[in-house]
């Protein structure tokens, strides 16, 4: 055997292997995409001809009628507005709380700092399921069921984000702080004018992660709301499935699913690098 | 110095308030709840202190069913999703063209609403009506399999759908973490292996696996924790009345005890929550002990 032959054979093996790898990856891509494709497809099939048309891969007469039905048969627009208010308010309060706490841990000196920080870290290990029971009782006793306050306040805390931002704040060189102090800059001004702009990437990351978390939250909203006027999209879609048009009118249900899924998918496509980087730095689903 | 202390605490105040009211206090409270027998939420009284709530929960057939379901789900989905994501990540790392496309695509399920997309899975597996069947069943019929009612039918069929959906949902996180871990392995090891003419499989088992073993164990631990808390996936597929469907999970049992048609028993819910916490803690400790022995650095 001469060298040329060995080289050719090896190249052929490489090509064969690469082909197998690409086919495998394409199959997984199909599995991931198919449910999205199917919900889009079903959402434009007309209800009237769904029984004969349900399996066609290209709808015979595409229609947007289902989207109309989804918004008129249930208050989907209201669920949407609620979710938007809930997401924005929760994220804003979370940012306020997180930025201040992270700054205190990263830059300020006070007695018992290490102890308090250790306590914070220990809280990271507490699962929501353990505290949700008392929170439910608390919110009920405060008469906050079916209010935005009841929805938002217990959802604010995120010890992990405080930790993440504190680590980032701590990387900002001390010299900047001393220089600002010499110039007579107050702590709060230093935080907003210097620290936050420098650490903007981390702040954007935790904002996006919190938005995703809020948009998809289901369990807590279900516990504290039974008035449809305060339903979020997750509870709305569950309501549609169980007592709405749900399994009767599958195309309309899929239209509702599309409407609920689109905002986050768009957000993801815009910020995909930020989101994936943020999650790989320690995002935990749910 | 005093002023400095005060100022720092002022910055911490919002966080301390939120965490105190909604995490620290509930944590203590739930443990107290779980030992108060016959608690009445209207009059806020209880008969006595003891282990009755735990005894009740541990003898409740619904809880035992939930425990069984959760364990089966964990034992199926954690190994399956970890192995599959490892294979996919290794494949992803070996290509250059289209790689970031695939990565973006694979991440999509992470940003979707579990409840909403669960409905799509339900539609795919469902029997559309009494005599017509859904897409999966139609495909199965082409290969000569009789229609199976995946949503309201036999236990194993429902468990299969739930496992598949859970795997689909948890894959994005695992693939993301594993690909970034694979990318961080120093090229120098692979080059050394190349010089020695080491076969691919040996390179994988002797270099790649040991180098990413810490990440792998991290994924297994978080995978166990996540799977033990499964709930909304089951709701999406089978509806909120999970007990009747014999598809309830431990977390579902806790919520059902608290609220809804079967609810109003915060003491039982607390006992179940504490049991869940102990189970998860035990499994995590076992995982950590095992990983100490097997993680290479």
- Count structural domains, chain A: 2
Same domain, A99 and A209: yes
Same domain, A31 and A115: no
Check whether A12 has a pLDDT greater than 70: yes
A144 close contact with B: CB closer than 8 A: no
Residue A259 lies in a domain: no
Q: With a CB-CB cutoff of 8 Å, which residues 41-60 of chain A face chain B? A: 42, 51, 54-55
Residue A286, C-beta contacts closer than 8 angstroms, at least 6 positions apart: A213, A216, B114, B226, B229, B232
Residue A254 lies in a domain: no
Q: Where residue A86 sits, what CATH number does that domain have?
A: 1.10.3720.10
Same domain, A143 and A160: yes
Residue A132 lies in a domain: yes
Rounded distance, CA A180 to CA A182, Å?
Answer: 5
Check whether A286 has a pLDDT greater than 50: no
Question: pTM (2 decimals)?
Answer: 0.91
Identity of the highest mean pLDDT range in A93-107, A268-282, B146-160, B178-192: A93-107
Distance from CA of B66 to the nearest CA of A (A): 15
ipTM above 0.85, yes or no: yes
Residues of A in contact with B231 (CB under 8 A): 219
Residue A281 lies in a domain: no
- Segment B18-25 long-range contacts (CB within 8 Å, at least 24 positions apart): B18/A97, B18/A153, B18/A156, B18/A157, B19/A120, B19/A123, B19/A157, B19/A159, B21/A138, B22/A131, B22/A135, B22/A138, B22/A153, B22/A154, B22/A156, B22/A157, B23/A123, B23/A126, B23/A131, B23/A157, B23/A159, B24/A123, B25/A134
> In whole angstroms, what separates CA A129 from the centre of its chain?
19
Same domain, A128 and A229: yes
Pick from B15, B88, B103: CB nearest A97:
B15
Residue A24 lies in a domain: yes
Same domain, A145 and A226: yes
> In whole angstroms, what separates CA A184 from the centre of its chain?
40
Report pLDDT digits (tens) over B97-136.
Answer: 899 999 999 999 999 999 989 999 998 998 755 556 788 8
Q: With a CB-CB cutoff of 8 Å, which residues 56-115 of chain A face chain B? A: 96-98, 100-101, 103-105, 108-111, 113
Same domain, A45 and A101: no
Pick from A103, A134, A247: CB nearest B26:
A134
Same domain, A54 and A151: no
Same domain, A27 and A115: no
Same domain, A133 and A8: no
Q: Domains, chain B, ranges and CATH? A: 61-112+161-294 (1.10.3720.10)
- Cβ–Cβ gap A126/B14 under 8 Å: no
A30 close contact with B: CB closer than 8 A: no
Per-residue model confidence (pLDDT) at position B77: 96
A38 close contact with B: CB closer than 8 A: yes
Same domain, A82 and A132: yes
- Cβ–Cβ gap B15/A157 under 8 Å: yes
Whether the Cβ atoms of residue B77 and residue B166 lie closer than 8 Å to each other: yes
Tens-digit pLDDT string for chain B (297 aa) = 567 788 899 999 999 999 999 999 999 999 998 998 877 666 666 777 788 999 999 999 999 999 999 999 999 999 999 999 999 999 999 898 899 999 999 999 999 999 989 999 998 998 755 556 788 888 888 898 888 888 888 999 999 999 999 999 999 999 999 999 998 888 898 888 888 888 888 889 888 998 999 889 889 988 998 999 999 999 999 988 888 889 999 999 999 998 877 777 888 999 999 999 999 999 888 888 887 777 665
Per-residue model confidence (pLDDT) at position A32: 96
The first and second tokens of residue B291, run together, are 């990983």
Same domain, A137 and A221: yes
- Cβ–Cβ gap A257/B116 under 8 Å: yes
Per-residue model confidence (pLDDT) at position A62: 83
Same domain, A31 and A60: yes
Residue A250 lies in a domain: no
Instruction: Assign 3-class secondary structure to B52-82.
Output: HHHHHHHHCHHHHHHHHHHHHHHHHHHHHHH
Pick from A28, A31, A133: CB nearest B33:
A133
Pick from B168, B232, B259: CB nearest A223:
B259
For A131, the domain range is 74-244
**Residue of chain B minimizing CA distance to A32:** B106
**Domain edge (last residue) among A65, A90, A109:** A65
Residue A267 lies in a domain: no
Residue A133 lies in a domain: yes
């Amino acid at each position: 055997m001469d060298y040329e032959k060995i080289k050719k054979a090896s190249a052929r093996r490489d090509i064969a292997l690469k082909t197998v790898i690409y086919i495998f990856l394409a199959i997984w891509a199909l599995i991931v995409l198919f449910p999205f494709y199917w919900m889009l497809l079903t959402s434009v099939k007309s209800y009237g001809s769904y029984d004969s048309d349900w399996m066609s891969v290209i709808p015979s007469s595409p229609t947007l009628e289902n989207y109309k039905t989804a918004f008129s048969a249930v208050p989907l627009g209201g669920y949407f507005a609620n979710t938007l208010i809930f997401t924005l308010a929760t994220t804003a309060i979370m940012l306020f709380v997180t930025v201040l706490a992270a700054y205190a841990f990263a830059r300020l000196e006070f007695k018992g700092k290490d102890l308090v920080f250790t306590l914070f870290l220990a809280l990271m290990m507490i699962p929501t399921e353990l505290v949700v029971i008392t929170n439910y009782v608390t919110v009920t006793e405060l008469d906050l069921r079916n209010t935005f306050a009841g929805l938002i306040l217990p959802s604010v805390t995120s010890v992990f984000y405080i930790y993440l931002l504190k680590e980032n704040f701590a990387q900002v060189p001390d010299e900047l702080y001393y220089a600002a102090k010499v110039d007579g800059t107050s702590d709060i001004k230093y935080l907003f004018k210097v620290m936050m702009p420098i650490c903007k990437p981390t702040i954007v990351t935790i904002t996006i992660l919190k938005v995703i978390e809020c948009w998809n939250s289901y369990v807590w909203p279900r516990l504290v709301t039974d008035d449809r006027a305060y339903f979020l999209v997750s509870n709305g879609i569950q309501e549609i499935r169980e007592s709405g048009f749900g399994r009767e009118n599958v195309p309309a249900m899929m239209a509702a699913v599309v409407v609920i899924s689109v905002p986050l998918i768009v957000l993801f496509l815009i910020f995909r690098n930020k989101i994936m980087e943020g999650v790989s730095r320690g995002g935990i689903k749910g | 110095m005093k002023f400095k202390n005060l100022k720092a605490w002022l910055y911490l105040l919002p966080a301390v308030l939120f965490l105190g009211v909604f995490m620290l206090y509930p944590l203590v409270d739930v443990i107290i709840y779980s030992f108060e027998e016959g608690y009445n939420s209207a009059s806020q009284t209880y008969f006595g202190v003891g282990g009755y709530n735990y005894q009740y929960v541990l003898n409740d057939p619904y809880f035992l069913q939930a425990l069984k379901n959760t364990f089966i789900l964990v034992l199926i989905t954690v190994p399956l999703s970890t192995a599959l994501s490892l294979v996919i990540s290794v494949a992803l790392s070996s290509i250059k063209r289209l790689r970031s496309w695939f990565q973006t695509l694979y991440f999509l399920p992470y940003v979707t609403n579990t409840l909403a997309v669960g409905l799509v899975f339900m539609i795919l597996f469902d029997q559309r009506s009494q005599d017509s069947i859904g897409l999966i069943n139609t495909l199965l019929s082409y290969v000569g399999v009789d229609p199976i009612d995946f949503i309201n039918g036999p236990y194993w069929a429902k468990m299969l759908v739930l496992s598949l959906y859970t795997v689909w949902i948890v894959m994005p996180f695992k693939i993301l973490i594993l690909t970034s871990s694979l990318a961080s392995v120093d090229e120098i090891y692979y080059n050394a292996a190349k010089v020695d003419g080491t076969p691919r499989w040996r390179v994988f088992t002797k270099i790649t696996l040991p180098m990413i073993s810490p990440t792998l164990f991290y994924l297994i631990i978080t995978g166990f924790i996540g799977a033990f808390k499964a709930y909304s996936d089951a709701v999406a597929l089978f509806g909120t009345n999970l007990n009747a469907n014999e598809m309830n999970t431990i977390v579902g049992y806790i919520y059902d005890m608290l609220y809804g048609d079967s609810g109003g028993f915060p003491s039982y819910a607390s006992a179940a929550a504490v049991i869940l916490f102990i189970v998860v803690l035990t499994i995590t400790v076992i995982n950590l002990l095992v990983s100490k022995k097997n993680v290479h650095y």
